[in-house]
Chains A and B, each alone.
Chain A
Amino acid sequence: MSEQDKILNEVTQNEYKYGFTTDIETDTLPKGLNEDIVRKISELKGEPEFMLEFRLDAYRKWKEMEMPEWAYLKIPPIDYQDIIYYAAPKQQAKYESMDEVDPELLETFNKLGIPLEEQKHLAGVAVDAVMDSVSVKTTFKDTLAEKGIIFCSFSEAVQEHPDLIQKYLGSVVPTNDNYFAALNSAVFSDGSFVYIPKGVRCPMELSTYFRINAANTGQFERTLIVADDDSYVSYLEGCTAPMRDENQLHAAIVEIVTMDRAEVKYSTVQNWYPGDKNGVGGIYNFVTKRGICKGESSKISWTQVETGSAITWKYPSCILMGNNSSSEFYSVAVTNNHQQADTGTKMIHIGKNTKSLIISKGISAGKSENAYRGLVKVVPKAENARNFSQCDSLLLGDTCGAHTFPYIEVGNKSSVVEHEATTSKIGEDQIFYCNQRGISTEDAIGMIVNGYAREVLNQLPMEFAVEAQKLLQISLEGSVG
């Protein structure tokens, strides 16, 4: 191992900072999955009949399905009967005021940098905090309600806006879409719901913060965002989990619907516990995220910074149905130590004059494997579709892997689809150049990697971008060659 590799190793072997656990009483259902558990979840949440039917239908489909094996991932067998499908902090009911929230819970979110007291929070960001299977608190609901914006936990939405839920739930990701989507549809416990009415520009960033706390528990959340004609919203999602030796399953679904001329910007900073440096523990992050540009000239953009999880399987996608609709996918995926990621996007062009842009930056270090997998599909009637894809991979050291799997299916001659890909190694000469200006190797790596990911980081809202930059550096502490 060269000197540089050694330094890289040291830099990338940093501790995970959100690995603490909260000592709080939890109500859990017994381990395992069967129809009774599904019924029980629905019952605990006091759901209407249509929800139970949705869940049971999904469960029955899931039972017939098999885990997908096409990804460039080595996934150890998962015993789905050894997982707890529902865990909720006790005595939660509904908090009328902050005084009723368990101080331990408040403290947890404070430690994560997500204060739930509105006055303490960054002006301009409303938060829905989800711990394990339930939403703990949603801030700024009243302020938003004045504009007719609905921002609440999924459970609450099922109670208070069943018509909207029934109309849109599963409309973008059908229950049988894939194995993990079916599983989520059967057992999902909470998440966030957003509805932006016609002509409304959401005055603040909306965000959901997901936290896994309970052991042996899977997290299955569901997010649904509906943006009506001429509306706009920017939505952020963050996530962390305690350090545990066993792997924990996280299988979420995000659905986005945009109507005529509506725009949704969805940003994620995914920082689930990645496991230790020997690859023990960590979250399995198997997520289905998809949007549909239903209306004409509507737009959905996905920005993701993926640094956590032991295994990531995730392809935020967009169906470009409305004429002149457009979608963007910006991604930075960092893998280190024994992490594995198979991530990318699907852009399905259906409407006329639809446009999509894909910018993916993979960064691999340690013994990790990092794959980009993307599909650009242009159906025969999609006149004048345009796509530009750029997939770059950066390797730190020589024990990691970077892979690119682009799939292009073009059924219309008037379309233009472009794909560019590069693979580079962080240069010793770049590091030396920084060293010679008095910048340490660790700082140099952070700087070079952030520079490499700049195009994507620039898409993030300010507070998130700063966080993400730090995170990139920390995730890579201990890694260059």
Chain B
Amino acid sequence: MLKIKNLHATIDGKEILKGIDLEVKPGEVHAIMGPNGAGKSTLGNVLTGREGYDITEGEVEFLGKDLLDMEADERAKEGLFLSFQYPVEIPGVSMVNFMKTAVNEKRKHQGLQPLKAGEFLKLMREKKELVELKSELANRSVNEGFSGGEKKRAEIFQMAMLEPRLSILDETDSGLDIDALRTVAKGVNALRGEDRSSIVVTHYQRLLDYIVPDFVHVLYNGKIVKTGTKELALELEEKGYDWIKKELGE
């Protein structure tokens, strides 16, 4: 699904990613944990093609294609999805309209006809129920005036609509109360499947109680310094990141 080899990236000349190696196979869920400033969000941004980063070394293969060679929208249409840590507001553009464009752009890319209005609305209804998104939110402008929790729920709703092959969830748990966290996790889990994978970026072990990962990686200072299974997350929760730092001899 995804193969990252020796990925280095800089922003304004400052190196943030210092040689990432990671392979995600179909059906797997990988958690990436690490302290602030480790490069967790940068990794998501670089993979999804956000501007402002220079890739100085390394390569990334996504579904057999050179990911870094594609434009951001092309990557999305190929099946890569980012659930934003801070979803952006787009005033005047309704969520319905936004999703219709996104879904149909993807279908066009796959050589499919656009969905008929009825089919689209049915899909909307199903997915809204899945993440318990209030109906009125879909009629409002994208993320405008949404609460923190509603924004995150709306991200998962969009993910459900677009059925990506690989989802990157960037701190989807931040700012969520426990009930919202459960619904979001439910949505994510419902989308798990043999040919779908996820990368869950988080600070805390809490989310991983609900979205159980196959692997846990610790990202520290631009590198993956430790890889384990879900037990590693528990260990981190208990001992904190200082433990890693000590182990690295810092």
Chain A contact residues, CB within 8 Å of chain B: 2-4, 427-430, 432-441, 443, 447-448, 450-455
Q: Which single member of A428, A439, A441, A453 contacts B102 (CB below 8 Å)?
A: A439
Residues of B within 8 A of A428 (CB): 51
Q: Are B51 and A436 in contact, CB atoms less than 8 angstroms apart?
A: no
Q: How large is the interface on B (under 10, 10 to 19, 20 to 34, 35 or more residues)?
A: 20 to 34
**A451 contacts which of B71, B91, B158 (Cβ < 8 Å)?**
B91
Select B158's contact among A2, A437, A440, A448, beta carbons within 8 Å. Answer: A437
Residues of chain A contacted by B125 (CB below 8 angstroms):
none
Q: Please, what's the 1-or-0 string for B23-62, where 1 marks a CB less than 8 Å from any CB in chain A?
A: 0000000000000000000000000111100000000000
**Distance in angstroms between the alpha carbons of A443 and B105 in the assembled complex:** 10
Assembly CA distance A432 to B158 (angstroms): 15
A443 touches B48 (CB 8 A): no
A439-B105, A447-B90, A453-B92 in contact; A433/B76 too (CB < 8 A)?
A: no
Contacts of A427 in B (CB 8 A): 88
Query: Given A428-B51, A433-B84, A447-B101, does the pair A454, B92 have CB atoms closer than 8 Å?
Result: yes
B88 touches A437 (CB 8 A): no
B98 within 8 A of A: yes
Contact indicator A436/B92 (Cβ below 8 Å)? no
Q: In the bound complex, do residue B81 and residue A3 qualify as a contact, i.e. CB atoms below 8 Å apart?
A: no
User: Would B48 and A436 count as touching, CB distance under 8 A?
Assistant: yes
Query: A3, A4, A447: which has the most chain B beta carbons within 10 Å?
Result: A447
- Chain A residues positioned under 8 Å from B158 (CB to CB): 437
| Known A429-B88, A433-B87, A433-B90; contact A439-B51, beta-carbon cutoff 8 A | no
The reply to whether the CB of B126 lies closer than 8 angstroms to some CB of chain A is: no
- Could you tell me the distance between the alpha carbons of A417 and B212 in the complex, rounded to whole angstroms? 58
**Beyond A447-B93, A452-B91, is A437–B162 a contact (Cβ under 8 Å)?**
yes
Say yes or no: A438-B93 contact (C-beta < 8 A), given A432-B50, A433-B84: no
- Note all chain A residues with C-beta closer than 8 A to B82: 436
A3 to B49, CA, bound (A): 12
User: Using an 8 Å CB-CB cutoff, how does the interface string of B67-109 with A read, 1 for contact, 0 for none?
Assistant: 0000111001100011010011111110001100110011001
Interface centre among B51, B77, B82, B84 (most CB of A within 10 A): B51
Q: What are 26 A-to-B residue pairs whose CB atoms are below 8 Å?
A: A2-B51, A3-B51, A4-B51, A432-B51, A432-B88, A433-B84, A434-B98, A435-B49, A435-B72, A435-B76, A436-B48, A436-B49, A437-B98, A437-B162, A438-B102, A439-B73, A440-B71, A440-B105, A441-B73, A443-B101, A447-B93, A450-B92, A451-B90, A451-B91, A451-B92, A451-B93
Closest 8 CB pairs of A and B: A451-B92, A451-B93, A435-B72, A454-B92, A438-B76, A437-B102, A433-B88, A438-B77
Q: Are B92 and A452 in contact (CB under 8 A)?
A: yes
Counting chain A CB atoms within 10 Å of each CB, the highest count among B88, B92, B102, B109 belongs to B92
Whether B183 is near chain A, meaning CB under 8 Å from some CB there, is no
Q: Is B92 within 8 A of A439, CB to CB? A: no
A436 adjacent to B76 (CB under 8 Å): yes
Report the bound CA distance from A268 to B31 in whole Å.
55
Besides A434-B90, A443-B105, A451-B92, 12 more A-B contacts (Cβ < 8 Å) are: A430-B89, A430-B90, A433-B87, A436-B73, A437-B98, A437-B158, A437-B162, A438-B73, A438-B77, A438-B102, A439-B105, A451-B93
